[in-house]
Amino acid sequence: MDTRTSETRLRIDRLRDAMTAQGAHAVFVPSSDPHLSEYLPDRWQGRQYLSGFTGSVGSLVVTQDRAALFADSRYWTQAEAQIAGSGIQLEKMASGASTNYIDWIAQQLQPGQVLAVDGQVLGLSLANTLRAAMKRAGVELRTDLDLLQTAWTDRPGLPTEPVYEHAAPHAVVTRADKLARVRKAMASVGATHHLVSTVDDIAWLLNLRGSDVECNPVFIAHLLLDASAGRLFIGEGKVPPDLAARLAADGITLVPYAQAAVALQALPATAKLLIDPRRVTLGLREAVPAAVTVVEQINPSTLLKSRKTPEEARFIREAMAEDGAAMCEFYAEFEASIARGDTWTELDIDTRLTAARRKRAGFVGLSFSTIAGWMANGALPHYRATPESFARIEGNGLLLIDSGGQYPGGTTDITRVWPIGQVSAEQRRDYTLVLKGTLALSRTRFPRGTLSPMLDAIARAPLWAHGLDYGHGTGHGVGYFLNVHEGPQSISKAIPEPSMAMEPGMITSIEPGLYRPGLWGVRIENLVLNVAVETPEKNAFGEMLEFETLTLCPIDTRCIDKGLLQADEVAWLNDYHATVRERLAPKVSGAALAWLNERTQPI
């Protein structure tokens, strides 16, 4: 048993001691914080602390004699390796949205026993589902216990990094205008107050940014709006005085972070509160007095921030060009170095690609931790090399690199696969089928308002025709100098909802993949913008949308099995490469320009 595994067992034992002291028979530890964030500040990395599993999605359940980690197919191989020897079993979920851990809990506990979960990090929608299931099983659900506080002896405190303003010209819409639009949506449902807890919604709405979460320019806060003012619940000292004065001019008052629940408790009986049940926790919902009328619907800001303005789209195109130029510089250096016989590791790729981005105008930081996966590691969709575990780039095969940057004018996310040495016929086939999926969806036209999950099968069809598939979604929304994963749209197998309607201005990824566990992985990803297209039948059949491909970087043609491509697919790829060459050539020179010209030659 190594040191890491031994420490994991000790942590689980300490949690069980805390359970016994509080009369709990099981504890549910979701990957969550009081803001239901995807990426968590260190203070709320409880599932990772207890299990050793570092994936961004997953849940842990611990009873007095069993412990189970629930993860979807993106993380199965990673999870098995990270929990090996810990006594924790892996329970495989069909997707990140699955809730089969609820059935597992019900099977483990007897009527009258107690399940504990911290209500301050439990989403309201999930809490309702969990409570109903435990009631059927006769299990008592306690949401007033934070057992981590006892078991986690050196738990980090709240982030203290300062907040700053997302300013003009990149902040195209003013804070006052955004607040007015949200208040108009509040008025449309008769709401006098609106609670916003999701940190990206708050950052967008107030034109503020921070660094409380790695790679995401957000900060920890709650926001309570009424018809004319708002209270921002945030850590003391995080907002500089001059910025606080500008917020005050727009009616936003600063209040200590811990006072959010107190403010909700003080709402008058005449208040009508708008909350999003998928974006607020049970703990905050229970603070609302029973006499207050509650309206449950999606946050207006979630819908508004997903639709980028034409001016924002212009800045996004500029950010994509800077990002593309950085990749040209990096890949030119990388390929020349490999040709000389130099040794590279996955860690080197992360370091040197990030260094290339740092040279570009406006670069703020990475939009997520770089994924550089050589061969078998490329088959792990959310793989990340570490100093303790990484591969050397040597021999023949495929190298998958998924990376992105944050710029004041946009957020980027791109995946490419590169051949090293000789590639096999099987690898070419896999690569080309994934490329066909990317091309198929990129070229699609669809009616405005189409529910985004309905588009998912278009990217999968070339793979399905060969009996192949992938376990993750095809596309996620992307923020504007915000989170790299943004809703409400999702091109995936999710059950469609009205809020997922595709509208002009939305930015979404297109990233089909194919993974051979233990062998190699392929994923080709671009970001696209929903744009209106004129058609002769517009009046009869409504407005149509199509995708403008925003990402600017060559798609390697050396891996293509040309016999699998149709003439129209080749034409699209050649046109794309011509655009990439035209847009990036003015931004690079020397070896980078030569590399760009070579990699964008028509096929």
In which element (H, E) is residue 72 found? strand 67-72
- pLDDT value at residue 538: 66
CA 139 to chain centre: 33
Q: How confident is the model at residue 75 (pLDDT cuts 50, 70, 90)?
A: confident
pLDDT at 405 exceeding the cut of 50: yes
- Residue 35 phi/psi, 5-degree rounding, is -115, 5
Cβ count near 300 (within 10 Å): 24
Q: Say if residues 233 and 252 touch (Cβ distance below 8 Å).
A: no
Per residue in 167-187, pLDDT (tens digit) is 999 999 999 999 999 999 999
Query: Pick from 551, 556, 543, 532: which is nearest to 478 by CA?
Result: 551
Per residue in 254-267, pLDDT (tens digit) is 999 999 999 999 99
**Which DSSP state fits 226?**
-
d(CA 513, CA 208): 35
Q: For tokens 């491909």, what's the residue?
A: 549
Q: How confident is the model at residue 74 (pLDDT cuts 50, 70, 90)?
A: confident
pLDDT at 47 exceeding the cut of 90: yes
- pLDDT value at residue 542: 86
Q: For tokens 């070896």, what's the residue?
A: 591
User: Which is more confident, 32 or 5?
Assistant: 32
What does the pLDDT average to over 444-472? 97
**Contacting residues for 284 by C-beta, under 8 A, at least 6 apart:** 34, 120, 195, 197, 222, 260, 261, 264
pLDDT at 2 exceeding the cut of 50: no
CATH number for the domain running over 164-301: 3.40.350.10
d(CA 164, CA 219): 10
Q: How confident is the model at residue 98 (pLDDT cuts 50, 70, 90)?
A: confident
| Opening angle at CA 207, ends 202 and 209, nearest 5 | 75
What does the pLDDT average to over 334-363? 97
Per residue in 214-251, pLDDT (tens digit) is 999 999 999 999 999 999 999 999 999 999 999 999 99
* Tokens at 144, concatenated: 């007033």
Q: How confident is the model at residue 3 (pLDDT cuts 50, 70, 90)?
A: very low
The correct answer on CATH 3.90.230.10 for the domain covering 307-599 is yes
Q: Where in the sequence of the chain do the CATH 3.90.230.10 domains occur?
A: 307-599
Query: Pick from 593, 574, 603: which is nearest to 324 by CA?
Result: 593
- pLDDT value at residue 4: 47
What does the pLDDT average to over 505-533? 97
Query: Before 488, cis peptide (omega within 30)?
Result: yes
- pLDDT value at residue 55: 86
Q: Could you write out the three-class secondary structure of 344-391?
A: EEHHHHHHHHHHHHHCCCCCCEECCCCEEEEHHHHHCCCCCCECCECC
Q: Where in the sequence of the chain do the CATH 3.40.350.10 domains occur?
A: 3-151, 164-301
Per residue in 361-375, pLDDT (tens digit) is 999 999 999 999 999
Query: How does the average pLDDT of the chain come out, rounded?
Result: 95
- Alpha-helix runs per DSSP H in 46-108: 46-51, 76-82, 100-108
What does the pLDDT average to over 27-48? 94
Q: How confident is the model at residue 96 (pLDDT cuts 50, 70, 90)?
A: low
- pLDDT value at residue 1: 38
Q: How confident is the model at residue 97 (pLDDT cuts 50, 70, 90)?
A: low
d(CA 277, CA 290): 16
**Contacting residues for 245 by C-beta, under 8 A, at least 6 apart:** none
What does the pLDDT average to over 129-149? 94
Q: How confident is the model at residue 475 (pLDDT cuts 50, 70, 90)?
A: very high
- pLDDT value at residue 599: 98
User: Which is more confident, 78 or 459?
Assistant: 459
User: What's the pTM?
Assistant: 0.93
- pLDDT value at residue 85: 86
List C-alpha distances in Å: 129 to 31, 106, 113, 302, 336: 17, 12, 18, 23, 55
d(CA 229, CA 253): 8
Q: For tokens 């300490």, what's the residue?
A: 14
Q: Say if residues 488 and 306 touch (Cβ distance below 8 Å).
A: yes
Task: Provide the terminal-to-terminal Cα distance of the chain, rounded to the nearest Å.
Answer: 54
CATH number for the domain running over 3-151: 3.40.350.10
d(CA 329, CA 355): 10
pLDDT at 565 exceeding the cut of 60: yes
> 88-102, 208-222, 418-432, 525-539: which has the minimum mean pLDDT?
88-102
pLDDT at 81 exceeding the cut of 70: yes
What does the pLDDT average to over 137-155? 93
